[in-house]
Amino acid sequence: MIKGSSGIYLNIEKSFRVRDKLSNQLNKNFFAYENGLGSGAWEQFMATLGNPSYAHLDHQGFTPSDQGATATLSRGTWMPLIVPYLGYRTYSTTYPYKDCDIPVELTNFKGSVRQGAIDLIWETASEVNNHGFYVERKVVGSENNDWNTMPEFVNGHGTSNVPHEYNFVDTEVIPNTTYQYKLRQVDLDGTQSCDDFSNIVTLTYTEKGSIVLMPNTPNPLNDATTLSFSIPENANVSLEILDIYGNVVNTITNENLSAGTYSKIWNAVDNSGNKVASGTYIYRLTVSDKVLTGKMSVVK
């Protein structure tokens, strides 16, 4: 990097991020400088000994505290960084081609079987110019062994640095048949990801299926979110909202339901109708003696 130069881009290695007590992924943001040009020793931003480094607002090293009298550029070399990685990104996938630079960090891709359908769920940690996703499917053991693109397109979130959850429902399934699924990501300019963007999910569809609790949409939420679930047979069903301490904030439903898929709306209120505070909440689905949970965030 040339001293004082601007327009220098860094690829950030996402695996260096850390999780806070709420399991949110955070970047380790800090500034560093080299205390002595050519020493090769990068040190913490504010040193107590030697040549100190100062906060600055531009690439020329301007320091607002003393109108530039102690510009960083004159005291050593520096670079703003989030644990720098000056090379090809290696998270999320493997790259069969050198120029395959996928702008979406996929953290998981999984699926489950229920009555009448197969549900696919995936999550991204960050997205850059993400138009969305195509789901591709293959029938295991069929004469046509090609991947086929499902007609429904799942819209992405453009550019985002917060986690987003997605789901896709495949209702064109035949009992006792095994299916494989993978994702293909599409940029806003139409560029599509490489073949190995996601792992391959393999599922065998059966008549009965299983209990499924889908990710709420949207998440994070402001005024309302939709909670969807499926049950394979008639049962007593309870859907509740809890705070992080385990207290029941709102009981969405508690009744006997027939086998099928249901969607319930939570308007971010408690049982008394009062708006809840911003924070993390748990939604809990209880079907007979089975319990499934999910996590969501309320942002005001």
* pLDDT tens digits in sequence order for the chain, 300 residues long: 333 444 433 444 444 455 666 666 555 544 444 444 445 554 444 444 444 444 444 445 555 555 555 554 444 444 444 444 444 333 333 333 334 567 888 988 999 888 778 999 999 999 998 999 999 999 998 877 789 999 999 999 999 988 899 999 998 888 888 999 999 998 888 888 777 789 999 998 876 667 888 889 898 998 999 999 888 888 999 999 999 999 999 999 999 998 878 899 999 999 999 999 999 999 999 998 889 999 999 998
Structure tokens at 178: 């095994």
8 Å CB contact between 178 and 170: no
Global pTM reads: 0.45
Domains recognised in the chain with CATH numbers: 11-85 (no CATH), 104-205 (2.60.40.10), 212-298 (2.60.40.4070)
- The single-letter DSSP state of residue 192 is B
SS (H, E, C) 218-281: CCCECCCEEEEEEECCCEEEEEEEEECCCCEEEEEEEEEECCEEEEEEECCECCCCCECCCEEE
Q: β-strands 225-231, 201-205: how paired?
A: unpaired
